[in-house]
């Protein structure tokens, strides 16, 4: 067994696809220390830069004093602290859904939804670039999986027509904003197909929540279709600067998940300080829309500057900026050059993204100053030019 493991690892190294961990320490909201050197963090999903916000830190500290460090029980036993009730009630209202159920994280929420709600007799139409948690949930469900081309509504429509005589229910599963490409799913068109063919929709708004829509409730708000999915998943570990995830739906689906979703039932509930942080973050977003405006000022600036310098940002729209290189080794070279210049940035390679689409992916966050953004843009441009990428 050990020899097989070693061979797999050395093969990963050969194709430039080997991963290792970098241990870091935050220095400020946007800066981290790695091996004693300071970097601008371009790999954080804390889009609203809330993870060091004083109101959130205060709420977490108060929860530590009042509730202790750990929860030490599952949700169905004594782990359903009153903080969960507050968060679930307020988040459901914010998102425009009847009910909400908080999970330990987005990966477990997605696995839970797909593995407990869909079964072998069902058909799942899934975007080819959906997140790993959705893919693994589908595998566990044993439903028939039909993959449609990325964001291609005509292809989805053809797939639905082809499968329409199959027994069982049909589901369309998609991320709202794709985590590695930053582009937006055609949710309005999917809604049209849902109504025409009586399908169910499951959407993952991990990267849209706290970013899109006037109040920051997510992509559905941005598109004017708030609360329209059958099941909506959102996370607290990205724009909200905390940890955990939520499933939003109707009361029966939520009760069903409480009774059937194994990753919900058989795990220790979240620590109180985490729940209090999510509640505080939600209150901040609800009461201060300038947070979202400031984030978008940065997003628009970076996008406009990079495009005018000749970068092809594809169809990406929000804070996730992909620079697709293709070749894994060249992508790693660019990443190393950027790291040397103080930008903490990741090379994203297969299997996270499809073969030949390796890329530098970075995120724009609210707390970057204009000087920091200019430095990022200038360094990206110079490094890409040096390697002949532009």
Applying CB under 6 A, the residues found at the interface with ligand PLP are 105-107, 110, 131, 133, 175, 179, 204, 206-207, 235, 237, 245
Nearer to ligand PLP, 210 or 237 (CB): 237
Q: How much is the CA Rg of the chain, to the nearest whole Å? A: 21
Nearer to ligand PLP, 333 or 349 (CB): 349
The residue annotated as part of the active site, out of 157, 232, 238, 317, is 238
The residue with its CB nearest to ligand PLP is 106
| C-alpha atoms less than 13 angstroms from C-alpha of 6 in its C-beta half-sphere | 3
The residue annotated as part of the active site, out of 49, 179, 217, 242, is 179
Instruction: Give the span between the Cα atoms of 107 and 124, in whole angstroms.
Output: 18
Q: Is the dihedral of CA 175, 107, 46, 254 positive or negative?
A: positive
Nearer to ligand PLP, 229 or 384 (CB): 229
Please state, in angstroms and as integers, the Cα–Cα distance from residue 11 to each residue in 5, 331, 363, following that order: 10, 18, 30
Closest approach of ligand PLP to the CB of residue 206, in Å:
4
Residues 148/126, Cβ–Cβ less than 8 Å: yes
Q: Give yes or no: 45 in active site.
A: yes
| Backbone phi, psi, residue 27, to 5° | -110, -35
Closest approach of ligand PLP to the CB of residue 205, in Å:
8
Q: Give yes or no: 207 in active site.
A: yes
Q: Give yes or no: 144 in active site.
A: no
Nearer to ligand PLP, 141 or 179 (CB): 179
CB burial of 307-342 (b: ≥16 within 10 Å; e: otherwise) equals eeeebebeebbbbbbbbbbeebebbbbbbebbbebe
Closest approach of ligand PLP to the CB of residue 236, in Å:
7
The residue annotated as part of the active site, out of 44, 45, 141, 170, is 45
> Tokens standing for 21?
């961990």
Closest approach of ligand PLP to the CB of residue 238, in Å:
7
> Tokens standing for 58?
């205060």
Q: Give yes or no: 288 in active site.
A: no
Q: Give yes or no: 165 in active site.
A: no
Nearer to ligand PLP, 282 or 377 (CB): 282
Closest approach of ligand PLP to the CB of residue 353, in Å:
12
> Tokens standing for 300?
């628009």
Closest approach of ligand PLP to the CB of residue 109, in Å:
7
Residues 104/263, Cβ–Cβ less than 8 Å: yes
The residue annotated as part of the active site, out of 131, 157, 226, 333, is 131
**Length of the chain as a residue count:** 390
Closest approach of ligand PLP to the CB of residue 359, in Å:
15
Q: Give yes or no: 155 in active site.
A: no
Residues 234/262, Cβ–Cβ less than 8 Å: no
Q: Give yes or no: 238 in active site.
A: yes
Q: Report how far apart the first and last C-alpha atoms of the chain are (Å, whole number).
A: 44
Closest CA to 361 of 173, 189, 193, 180: 180
Residues 357/323, Cβ–Cβ less than 8 Å: no
> Tokens standing for 201?
């929709």
Nearer to ligand PLP, 202 or 384 (CB): 202
Nearer to ligand PLP, 122 or 204 (CB): 204
Tell me the catalytic residues: 45, 131, 175, 179, 204, 207, 238
């Amino acid at each position: 067994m050990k020899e097989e493991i070693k061979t797999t690892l050395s093969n990963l190294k050969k194709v430039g696809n080997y991963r290792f961990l970098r241990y870091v320490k935050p220095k400020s909201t946007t800066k981290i220390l790695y091996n004693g050197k300071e970097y601008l963090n371009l790999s954080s999903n804390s889009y609203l830069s809330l993870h060091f916000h004083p109101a959130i830190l205060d709420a977490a500290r108060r929860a530590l004093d009042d509730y202790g460090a750990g929860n030490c029980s599952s949700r169905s036993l004594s782990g359903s602290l009153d903080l969960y009730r507050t968060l679930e009630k307020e988040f459901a209202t914010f998102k425009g859904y009847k009910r909400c159920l908080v999970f330990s994280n987005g990966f477990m929420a997605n696995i839970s939804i797909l593995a407990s709600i869909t079964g072998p007799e069902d058909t799942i139409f899934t975007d080819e670039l959906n997140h790993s948690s959705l893919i693994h949930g589908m595998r566990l469900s044993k439903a028939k999986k039909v993959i449609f081309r990325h964001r291609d509504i005509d292809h989805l429509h053809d797939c639905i027509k082809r499968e329409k005589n199959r027994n069982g229910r049909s589901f369309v599963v998609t991320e709202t904003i794709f985590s590695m490409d930053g582009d937006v799913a055609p949710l309005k068109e999917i809604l049209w197909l849902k109504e025409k063919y009586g399908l169910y929709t499951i959407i993952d708004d991990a990267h849209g929540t706290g970013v899109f829509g006037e109040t920051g409730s997510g992509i559905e708000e941005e598109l004017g279709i708030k609360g329209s999915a059958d099941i909506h998943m959102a996370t607290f570990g990205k724009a909200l600067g905390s940890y955990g995830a939520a499933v939003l739906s109707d009361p029966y689906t939520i009760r069903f998940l409480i009774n059937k979703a194994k990753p919900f039932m058989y795990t220790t509930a979240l620590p109180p300080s985490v729940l209090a942080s999510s509640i505080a973050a939600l209150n901040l977003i609800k009461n201060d829309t300038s947070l979202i405006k400031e984030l978008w000022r940065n997003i628009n600036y970076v996008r406009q500057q990079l495009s005018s310098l000749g970068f092809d940002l594809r169809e990406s729209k929000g804070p996730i900026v992909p620079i697709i290189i293709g070749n894994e080794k060249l992508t790693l070279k660019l990443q190393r050059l950027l790291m040397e210049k103080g930008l903490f940035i990741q090379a994203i390679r297969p299997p996270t993204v499809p073969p030949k689409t390796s890329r530098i992916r970075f995120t724009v966050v609210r707390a970057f100053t204009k000087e920091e953004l200019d430095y990022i843009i200038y360094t990206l441009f110079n490094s890409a030019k040096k390697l002949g990428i532009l």
